[in-house]
Amino acid sequence: MEERVNFALVGLFVVVLTGALAATTAWLAASRGQRTYETYVAYMAESVSGLNAKAPVKYRGVVVGQVRDIALDRDSPERVRLLLDIEQGTPIKVDTVAVLATQGVTGIAFVDLTGGRREAAALQAAPGERFPEIRTGPSLLMRIDTAVTTLLAQLGQVTQDLGRVATRVSTLLESENLAAMGGTLRNLEEITRVLAGRVGDIGDGIRDGRVILANGVKISQDLPALMSRVNDSAASIQEAMANVNRAATGVDRAVSETRRDLARASGSTVTQVEALLVELQQLTRTMQRLGGELERDPNMLLFGRRGRERGPGE
């Protein structure tokens, strides 16, 4: 037996539900009308598929407005122009960025605002512009697409590099190259064997080198004292040469005086004496010349007289 339906109760329920919906709609409209909105513009350089007018605008996940209008930019058709109505008082700064995002698994698109440092200045309309322009950034899908494209390009380059490496390895593994590599390895083995047999000689060479270095260090240490003694000897030689020059000058002067005195003597005696005086003068000039050479090069007593340097063309 079927149960009777009370149509009066059903009608009353429908009337009450309709009134509640109408009241809620009126309340929402009234509350929205009390809010003040400011209009901003944003230009998207990517597809806004899934974004519709009245779509929410969120600031860090909080709904702060809605999309008023979506249209192509007349000046740059590759961009999409969005008009955003955002509640007055929302901290829209010069570094705020608008990004296209999707909500959950439903795929409903909305505009998400990020950034906006506390110390940054508030966003204002540029001179000659009607609305302030919010900067835009790539969406998550756009970033993923760019990353995948870059990764595929890099994989293609890696594949090409691997192909070239495989070709070179194949060339390297040819019979002629393998034979050359075998010869090189045998040569290396022979060199290693020879070096192993010469370890003792190498050790002796190293020890001799150490001895040579030690002697060099000792010579360098004794060299200042040796040079000091050489300088002292040179000074003594110069002083002796000065004495020789003075003695030669005195002898020359004595010879001259003696010649004047003997000029008055008789014939044969004078001739012999003059010959002796000539020899004394030659000896004096030789001593003077030797003294001059020693003054110019004192090392001549130690190393002997240097050979005469040849002139041009000799």
Q: In which region does residue 228 sit, left (phi positive, over 0), alpha (psi from -120 to 50) or beta (all else)?
A: alpha
Token reading at 246 = 């003075």
pLDDT in tens, 153-212: 888 888 888 878 877 777 766 777 777 777 788 888 888 877 777 777 777 777 777 888
Q: Select from 113, 137, 161 the last residue of a domain.
A: 137
For residue 139, what pLDDT band results from cuts at 50, 70 and 90?
confident
Lowest model confidence (mean pLDDT) among 204-213, 232-241, 266-275, 277-286: 266-275
**Is 96 contained in some domain?**
yes
Q: Select from 112, 137, 162 the last residue of a domain.
A: 137
**Is 25 contained in some domain?**
no
**Quick check: 31 pLDDT over 60?**
no
**Quick check: 238 pLDDT over 80?**
no
**Is 5 contained in some domain?**
no
pLDDT in tens, 83-112: 999 998 888 899 999 998 887 666 678 999
- How many angstroms separate the CA atoms of 154 and 152, rounded? 5
The predicted structure's pLDDT at residue 39 = 92
Domain count, the chain: 2
**Is 260 contained in some domain?**
yes
pLDDT in tens, 43-99: 998 888 888 889 999 998 889 999 999 999 888 888 999 999 999 888 889 999 999
Q: Check if the beta carbon of residue 40 is closer than 8 Å to that of residue 132.
A: yes
Helices (H), the chain: 7-33, 140-172, 175-197, 199-262, 267-296, 300-303
Residues in the chain: 314
**Is 165 contained in some domain?**
no
Mean of the per-residue pLDDT values of the chain: 77
**Is 268 contained in some domain?**
yes
Buried b (16+ CB within 10 A) or exposed e, 202-229: eeeeeeeeeeeeeeeeeeeeeeeeeeee
- Which helix (H) or strand (E) segment holds residue 133: the answer is strand 133-136
The predicted structure's pLDDT at residue 4 = 58
The predicted structure's pLDDT at residue 272 = 66
Token reading at 111 = 């505009």
**Is 288 contained in some domain?**
yes
Q: Select from 137, 167, 201 the last residue of a domain.
A: 137
pLDDT-above-90 percentage for the chain: 12
pLDDT in tens, 302-312: 555 555 555 55
**Is 2 contained in some domain?**
no
The parent domain of residue 288 ranges over 227-303
The predicted structure's pLDDT at residue 85 = 93
Report, as an integer, the average pLDDT of 260-280.
63
**What angle do helix axes 199-262 and 267-296 make, rounded to 10 degrees?**
150
What are the φ and ψ backbone dihedral angles of 126, each rounded to 5 degrees?
Answer: -70, 155
- How many angstroms separate the CA atoms of 83 and 102, rounded? 18
